[in-house]
């Protein structure tokens, strides 16, 4: 199996250095150990129906020490132009790392980059929103602050990658649903792991967890 996999890669990428290894031990543990000296770890979704994601892929994504791609075939149809790379951002420190990876990958793939910030207004401003009692001035202030944060996050990378084609999406929708919807027209979705501290570093955030199960294209979880 290893020889066949190496031959398939070598036929498509003859200049690429390839090394194979057969390792005895638990899958998640072995790949977690390997990730300590890796730039990127790529695993298959582990099932024909990706919504029944293989348990190994989930455990690997939780325990890896480097960014992890959970790969599945994108459902979007290619039209001759590169499909976009989508990156989700929020107020966490992990967003900066996710955006950095997304710009780098989009540049290598010559693909447009879509930077997305999604938040549910009702959850942010409270019950009054759903009942029609809203401090619209407060809502405008919150939205303005969110957009400013997004601009500040993207701006230094846009300066560095001057040829990058970047669009920004700002929507009132849950991040998990919004990013899943966008994944249907993307070649990759990038998100932060949202780990905090030594314990939380091994626990994926709810958005990352949801996308690993439900995205319609590969997902890159950045640590």
69-88 tens-digit pLDDT? 999 899 998 778 899 999 99
Instruction: Identify whether the C-beta of residue 113 lies closer than 8 Å to the C-beta of residue 103.
Output: yes
Is the pLDDT confidence value at 197 over 50?
Answer: no
Domain 2-222, what fold?
A: Rossmann fold (3.40.50)
pTM over 0.85: no
Per-residue pLDDT tens over the stretch 17-46: 999 999 998 888 899 999 999 999 998 876
The Cα 192–Cα 211 span in angstroms is 11
86/89 Cα distance (integer angstroms): 10
* pLDDT tens, residue by residue, 97-108: 999 999 999 999
Judged on CB neighbours under 10 Å (0-12, 13-18, 19+), 180 is buried
Domain coordinates of the chain in residue numbers? 2-222
- CA–CA separation, 181 and 145 (whole Å): 25
**Above 50 in pLDDT, residue 147?**
yes
C-alpha closest to that of 183 among 66, 96, 73: 73
């Amino acid at each position: 199996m290893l020889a066949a996999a190496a031959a398939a890669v070598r036929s498509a990428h003859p200049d690429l250095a390839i090394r194979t290894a057969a390792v005895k031990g638990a899958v998640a543990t072995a790949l977690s150990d390997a990730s300590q000296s890796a730039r990127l770890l790529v695993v298959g979704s582990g099932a024909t129906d990706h919504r029944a994601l293989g348990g190994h892929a989930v455990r690997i994504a939780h325990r890896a020490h480097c960014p992890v791609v959970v790969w599945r075939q994108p459902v979007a149809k290619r039209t001759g132009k590169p499909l976009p790379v989508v990156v989700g951002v929020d107020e966490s420190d992990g967003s900066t790392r996710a955006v950095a990876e997304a710009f780098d990958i989009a540049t290598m793939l010559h693909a447009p980059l879509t930077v997305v910030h999604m938040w549910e207004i009702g959850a942010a401003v409270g019950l009054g929103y759903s009942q029609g009692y809203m401090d619209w001035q407060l809502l405008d202030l919150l939205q303005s602050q969110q957009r400013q944060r997004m601009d500040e996050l993207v701006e230094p990378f846009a300066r560095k990658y001057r040829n990058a084609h970047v669009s920004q999406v700002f929507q009132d929708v849950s991040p998990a649903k919004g990013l899943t919807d966008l994944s249907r027209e993307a070649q990759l979705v990038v998100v932060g792991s949202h780990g905090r501290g030594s314990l939380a570093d091994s626990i994926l955030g709810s958005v990352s967890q949801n996308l690993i199960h439900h995205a319609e294209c590969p997902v890159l979880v950045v640590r």
